[in-house]
């Protein structure tokens, strides 16, 4: 029963708002239904904030429904005002087209596009571009009340913040047109999205009722925030992306592994596909043995595997162990090692020049404040090169110490790391 799906989403705290809950449950329980989730190409990759709603879309597919992943080739050219205090910079048409292709590829790896209820990929440019401005105003625009549009939270907030362009003001009409068009093409009568999309989604529900005389449904998902009040998915270095060239799999894994203890339970509810019983056991481990970090590791493994695959996840987990002396660092392949080291303080040495001492290298990396501080680390027995202890203050590595002929790993004590790279 799909009502069990809604109960599961409620347990996972993944429902912010819905249209009539009873009617929605009845609609879903009546058979396999189509639903859609939209993604605007505002960057060359999705980020883990997008993953919150995408995970819910996957849960619907696993429950027997047909997901439609819409990449907004048209709406991406306009800009959604939701959650913003100022106008979005408009990207070049060719750039948006390129980003559409990259995001489609990411979605293809997350949803199942074969089987009984295969996912469908859609691009709203396909039905928006052929429509003239006059046709759009006559056939779609006439169904919208300006008073009602002004009352939408995304618009009213922008008006209070200083104003909104006609371009972004019209965004909700374009998104409603998408819902109408998908209802016609795919009998899609449910749209899901982040809680900041409620007004845009309800606009589509109203449009379908007016034009098609059908009942459509909406479900929104809470936007995740960290326990410290900061935005989920943001770090000092920026967003955590799903593209491995923008956020390395190692950094992706470490983001979840290093989650605040207060956030781990909700992150598991949101992203894990484990059973309630399995998750409750992990929640208990957070309370009874937090030092073991069992829940953190389970979270990092599962989410990284979902995005980058189990093989890559095993490699990056082993890399983390190797950097701290719990596995053989020389056995790491160059790609995994480079990924892991890219997240560390770094210094370089030039090919053909003498390699500086360990003291010089660790000081140059910034892990210690000075060479005298580095010498104290050596004297106290806390200096390591590639996980091997350094005993002399004048020790200088040799080319044989370069991992894959390029890298060295410096460690101060148990946890402070830096990388050295040989450059031309």
Q: Per-residue confidence at 81, pLDDT binned at 50, 70, 90?
A: confident
C-alpha triplet 310, 312, 314: angle, nearest 5° = 70
Nearest to 385 by CA among 417, 411, 415: 411
C-alpha of 45 from chain center = 9
What structural domains and CATH numbers belong to the chain? 2-221 (3.40.50.620), 225-343 (1.10.240.10), 344-424 (3.10.290.10)
Percentage with pLDDT > 70 across the chain: 99
What mean pLDDT is predicted for residues 1-25? 92
Residue 85 has pLDDT above 80, yes or no: no
> What pLDDT digit, counting tens, does each position of 309-351 carry?
999 999 999 998 898 888 899 999 999 999 899 889 999 999 9
Please state the three-class secondary structure of 119-135 as a single string. Answer: CEEEECHHHHCCCCHHH
Residue 195 has pLDDT above 50, yes or no: yes
> What pLDDT digit, counting tens, does each position of 397-411 carry?
999 999 999 999 999
> What pLDDT digit, counting tens, does each position of 108-148 carry?
999 999 988 999 999 999 999 999 999 999 999 999 989 88
What mean pLDDT is predicted for residues 172-185? 97
Nearest to 418 by CA among 392, 384, 375, 380: 384
Contact 248, 342 (CB under 8 A): yes
What's the chain's average pLDDT?
A: 93
Report pTM.
0.90
- What per-residue confidence (pLDDT) applies to 1? 47
């Amino acid at each position: 029963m799909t009502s069990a799906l809604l109960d599961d989403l409620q347990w996972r705290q993944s429902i912010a708002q819905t249209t009539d809950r009873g009617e929605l449950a009845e609609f879903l329980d009546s058979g396999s239904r189509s639903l859609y989730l939209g993604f605007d190409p505002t960057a060359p990759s999705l980020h883990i904030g997008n993953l919150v709603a995408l995970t819910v879309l996957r849960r619907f597919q696993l429950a027997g429904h047909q997901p439609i992943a819409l990449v907004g080739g048209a709406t991406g050219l306009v800009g959604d005002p939701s959650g913003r205090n100022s106008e979005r910079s408009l990207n070049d048409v060719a750039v948006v087209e390129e980003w559409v292709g990259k995001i489609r590829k990411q979605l293809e790896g997350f949803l199942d596009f074969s089987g009984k209820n295969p996912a469908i990929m859609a691009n709203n440019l396909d039905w928006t571009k052929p429509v003239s401005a006059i046709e759009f105003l006559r056939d779609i625009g006439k169904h919208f009340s300006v008073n009602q549009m002004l009352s939408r939270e995304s618009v009213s907030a922008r008006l209070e913040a200083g104003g909104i362009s006609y371009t972004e003001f019209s965004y909700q009409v374009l998104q409603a047109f998408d819902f109408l068009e998908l209802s016609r093409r795919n009998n899609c009568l449910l749209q899901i999205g982040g809680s900041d999309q409620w007004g845009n989604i309800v606009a589509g529900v109203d449009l379908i009722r007016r034009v098609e005389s059908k009942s459509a449904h909406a479900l929104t998902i809470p936007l995740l925030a960290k326990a410290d009040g900061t935005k989920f998915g943001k770090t000092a270095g920026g967003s955590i992306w799903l593209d491995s060239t923008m956020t390395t799999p190692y950094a992706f894994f470490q983001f979840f592994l290093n989650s605040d203890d207060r956030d781990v339970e909700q992150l598991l509810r949101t992203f894990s596909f484990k059973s309630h019983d399995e998750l409750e056991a992990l929640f208990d481990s957070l309370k009874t043995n937090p030092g073991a970090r069992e829940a953190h590791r389970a979270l990092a493994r599962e989410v990284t595997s979902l995005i980058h695959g189990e093989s890559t996840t095993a490699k990056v987990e082993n890399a983390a162990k190797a950097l701290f002396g719990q596995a053989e660092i020389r056995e790491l392949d160059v790609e995994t090692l480079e990924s892991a080291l890219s997240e560390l303080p770094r210094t370089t040495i030039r090919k053909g020049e003498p390699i500086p001492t360990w003291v010089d290298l660790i000081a140059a990396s910034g892990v210690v404040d000075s060479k005298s501080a580095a010498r104290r680390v050596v004297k106290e027995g806390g200096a390591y090169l590639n996980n091997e202890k350094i005993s002399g203050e004048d020790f200088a590595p040799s080319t044989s110490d370069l991992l894959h002929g390029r890298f060295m790993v410096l460690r101060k004590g148990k946890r402070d790391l830096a990388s050295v790279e040989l450059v031309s």
